[in-house]
Structure 1
Amino acid sequence: MEFTVSGRLEVRITPSDVGKRVSVRRLVEGGAQRQEFTDTVGVLTSWNDDVLVITRRDGQIVRIAQRTLVAGKVVPTAPARRRGPAATYPELARVAARAWQPVVSERLGDWELRAASGFTRRANSVLPLGDPGRPLDEALAFVRRWYADRGLPAYVQTATGGEGTQEQLCAWLVDRGWEREVSAELRVGALAPVGDLDVDTERVTLSRSVDADWLGRYQRSGEVGPDVLRVLGSGPSVWFATVPGGEGAPAAIGRCVVDGRWAGFMAVEVDPARRRAGLATAVMAALARRALDEGASAAWLQVEEDNGGARALYDGMGFATHHSYHHYRAPEGDGPGDVVRE
Structure 2
Amino acid sequence: MFSDVLGELVDLTETDLTVRTVERLVRVPRAEVTHAKRVPDRRRPSATESLERIAAAGWPAPEQAHLGEWLLRAADGWTARGNSALPIGDPGRTLNDAVDAVEAWYRARALPPKITVPDPVGARLTAELTRRGWAPAPRTLVQTAALAEVAAAARPEVAVRLDTTPPDAWFAAVAGFKGTFPDAARHILTGVPLARYAGIYAEDGSPIAVARGVVADGSWLGVSLVTVDPVHRRQGLGRAIVGALARWAADAGASQAYLQVEERNTAAVAAYAPLGFSTHHAYVTWTAP
**TM-score w.r.t. length of structure 2:** 0.79
Give the secondary structure class of the aligned counterpart of 1:324. strand
Indicate which of 144, 150, 153 corresponds to 1:188. Answer: 144
Rg larger in structure: 2
Give the secondary structure class of the aligned counterpart of 1:91. helix
Indicate which of 107, 114, 130 corresponds to 1:148. Answer: 107
Indicate which of 172, 176, 181 corresponds to 1:216. Answer: 172
Aligned to 1:169: 125
In the alignment, structure 1 residue 275 sits paired with structure 2 residue 233: yes
Kept after mapping to 2: 8 A contact 1:201/1:286: no
Aligned to 2:64: 105
Shift of 1:226: 2.1
Tell me how far apart the structure 1 counterparts of residues 262 and 154 of structure 2 sit (CA, whole Å): 26
Indicate which of 216, 221, 227 corresponds to 1:263. Answer: 221
Indicate which of 160, 166, 172 corresponds to 2:119. Answer: 160
Tell me how far apart the structure 2 counterparts of residues 176 and 154 of structure 1 sit (CA, whole Å): 12
Aligned to 1:237: 194
Tell me how far apart the structure 1 counterparts of residues 144 and 221 of structure 2 sit (CA, whole Å): 10
Tell me how far apart the structure 2 counterparts of residues 123 and 288 of structure 1 sit (CA, whole Å): 24
Kept after mapping to 2: 8 A contact 1:221/1:228: no
Shift of 1:235: 2.3
Kept after mapping to 1: 8 A contact 2:239/2:275: no
Give the secondary structure class of the aligned counterpart of 1:306. coil
Shift of 1:168: 2.2
Tell me how far apart the structure 2 counterparts of residues 145 and 249 of structure 1 sit (CA, whole Å): 44
Tell me how far apart the structure 2 counterparts of residues 295 and 201 of structure 1 sit (CA, whole Å): 23
Kept after mapping to 1: 8 A contact 2:60/2:191: yes
Kept after mapping to 2: 8 A contact 1:98/1:236: no
Q: What is the identity, as a one-letter code, of the residue corresponding to 1:203?
A: A
Shift of 1:236: 4.6
Tell me how far apart the structure 2 counterparts of residues 198 and 158 of structure 1 sit (CA, whole Å): 32
C-alpha spacing 1:160/1:191, structure 2 compared with 1 (3 Å): same
Q: What is the identity, as a one-letter code, of the residue corresponding to 2:184?
A: D
Indicate which of 277, 283, 287 corresponds to 1:319. Answer: 277
Taking the TM superposition and a 5 Å limit, the aligned residue runs for 1:134-145 are 134-145=93-104
Tell me how far apart the structure 2 counterparts of residues 270 and 304 of structure 1 sit (CA, whole Å): 17
1:15-72 per-position Cα deviation (integer Å, ceiling 9, x unaligned): xxxxxxxxxxxxxxxxxxxxxxxxxxxxxxxxxxxxxxxxxxxxxxxxxxxxxxxxxx
Kept after mapping to 2: 8 A contact 1:201/1:283: no
Aligned to 1:69: none
Shift of 1:306: 1.4
Kept after mapping to 1: 8 A contact 2:201/2:209: yes
Kept after mapping to 1: 8 A contact 2:78/2:182: no
Structure 2 alignment gaps of length 5 or more: 1-45
C-alpha spacing 1:144/1:198, structure 2 compared with 1 (3 Å): closer
Aligned to 2:30: none
Aligned to 2:23: none
Structure 1 alignment gaps of length 5 or more: 1-86, 332-342
Indicate which of 275, 287, 307 corresponds to 2:245. Answer: 287
Tell me how far apart the structure 2 counterparts of residues 325 and 235 of structure 1 sit (CA, whole Å): 23
Give the secondary structure class of the aligned counterpart of 1:289. helix
Q: What is the identity, as a one-letter code, of the residue corresponding to 1:325?
A: Y
Aligned to 1:305: 263
Aligned to 1:60: none
- Alpha-carbon RMSD: 1.6
Aligned to 2:14: none
Aligned to 2:22: none
In the alignment, structure 1 residue 178 sits paired with structure 2 residue 134: yes
1:147-197 per-position Cα deviation (integer Å, ceiling 9, x unaligned): 111111110000114xxx212211221111111023210011111111123
**TM-score w.r.t. length of structure 1:** 0.68
1:213-250 per-position Cα deviation (integer Å, ceiling 9, x unaligned): 11222144433332111100122511110100344741
Tell me how far apart the structure 1 counterparts of residues 288 and 203 of structure 2 sit (CA, whole Å): 44
Structure 1 stretches of 4+ moved >6 Å: none
Taking the TM superposition and a 5 Å limit, the aligned residue runs for 1:6-45 are none
Kept after mapping to 2: 8 A contact 1:98/1:234: no
Tell me how far apart the structure 1 counterparts of residues 61 and 81 of structure 2 sit (CA, whole Å): 8
Which stretch of the first structure deviates more once superposed, 215-224 or 231-240?
215-224
Indicate which of 91, 94, 103 corresponds to 2:50. Answer: 91
